[in-house]
C-alpha cells in the first residue's frame, strides 16, 4: 500500500505561509548555502514519488520549477520536480500546463484513498495546507515531515487549519541542520 507523506516547512511560530500566502521564509539564502541542507534537499528530491498539490501550490510550483532560473539554482530538484508524476486537485482548473500532471476535480479524500490502494510510489504532498488539513481530518496521511525554520513571522496560516479532531502523533526521527532548520518526522500514533 502506498503512503501519503507530507513534506512542509513551518516557521518557529507555527505558520506554513504568511497572511498573504508567501512561503519564501523556507528559502532563505543562508539556509540554502548550508552544504548539508543542499545534500539533504538533493537526495530527498531524487526519490521516487508521485507529487500531490492543491491548485495554489501547484500554480506556484509550475511557475518556478520549469524555468531556467530554477534549473540553475537547484538543478537536481528542478529535474525531479519537472519529471515526477504530479496530481493537482482543483474544482476550478480546466487544464494543467505543467508536464506530467493529472487533474482531479472530484472528491479529494476518496480519490487519495483510491490512489493509496494502487501500485506505485508513495504520494508526497508539499505545501497545499488546505489539502493537508482535509487529509489529516480524514486520517489519510501516513507520515509528516515538518521542517521548522528559525524565523518568526507573527501572522499567517497554520498547516492544520480547520482540523477539528485530536490527532496524536509519534516522533519517529529528527535532524538538526547547521542552517538552523530542524526536520521532525511524525506518524499517527
Residue 31 has pLDDT above 80, yes or no: no
Secondary element (H or E) of residue 72: helix 68-73
**For residues 31-52, b (16+ Cβ closer than 10 Å) or e, as one string?**
beebeebbebbeebbeeebbbb
Residue 92's pLDDT band, with cuts at 50, 70 and 90, is: very high
Q: pLDDT value at position 188?
A: 96
Residue 46 pLDDT class (50, 70, 90 cuts): low
The CATH architecture of the domain made up of 4-188 is: 3-Layer(aba) Sandwich (3.40)
Query: For the segment 103-141, what is each residue's pLDDT rounded down to a tens digit?
Result: 999 899 999 999 999 999 999 998 888 999 999 999 999
Mean pLDDT (the chain) is: 92
Closest CA to 163 of 2, 1, 3, 6: 6
| Residue labelled with grid coordinates 526521527 | 173
Rounded Cα gap, residues 154 and 80, in angstroms: 33
Amino acid at each position: 500500500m502506498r503512503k501519503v507523506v507530507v513534506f512542509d516547512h513551518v516557521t518557529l511560530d507555527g505558520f506554513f505561509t504568511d497572511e498573504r500566502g508567501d512561503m519564501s521564509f523556507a528559502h532563505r539564502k543562508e539556509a540554502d548555502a548550508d552544504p548539508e541542507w543542499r545534500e539533504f534537499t538533493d537526495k530527498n528530491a531524487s526519490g521516487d514519488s508521485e507529487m500531490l498539490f492543491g491548485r495554489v501550490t501547484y500554480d506556484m510550483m509550475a511557475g518556478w520549477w520549469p524555468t531556467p532560473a530554477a534549473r540553475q539554482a537547484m538543478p537536481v530538484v528542478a529535474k525531479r520536480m519537472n519529471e515526477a508524476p504530479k496530481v493537482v486537485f482543483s474544482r476550478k482548473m480546466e487544464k494543467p500546463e505543467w508536464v506530467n500532471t493529472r487533474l482531479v476535480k472530484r472528491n479529494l479524500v476518496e480519490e487519495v484513498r483510491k490512489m493509496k490502494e494502487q501500485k506505485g510510489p508513495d504520494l508526497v504532498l508539499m505545501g497545499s495546507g488546505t489539502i493537508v488539513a482535509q487529509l489529516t481530518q480524514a486520517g489519510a496521511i501516513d507520515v509528516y515531515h515538518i521542517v521548522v525554520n528559525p524565523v518568526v513571522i507573527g501572522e499567517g496560516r497554520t498547516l492544520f487549519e480547520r482540523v477539528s479532531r485530536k490527532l496524536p502523533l509519534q516522533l519517529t526521527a529528527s535532524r538538526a541542520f547547521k542552517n538552523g532548520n530542524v526536520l521532525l518526522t511524525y506518524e499517527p500514533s
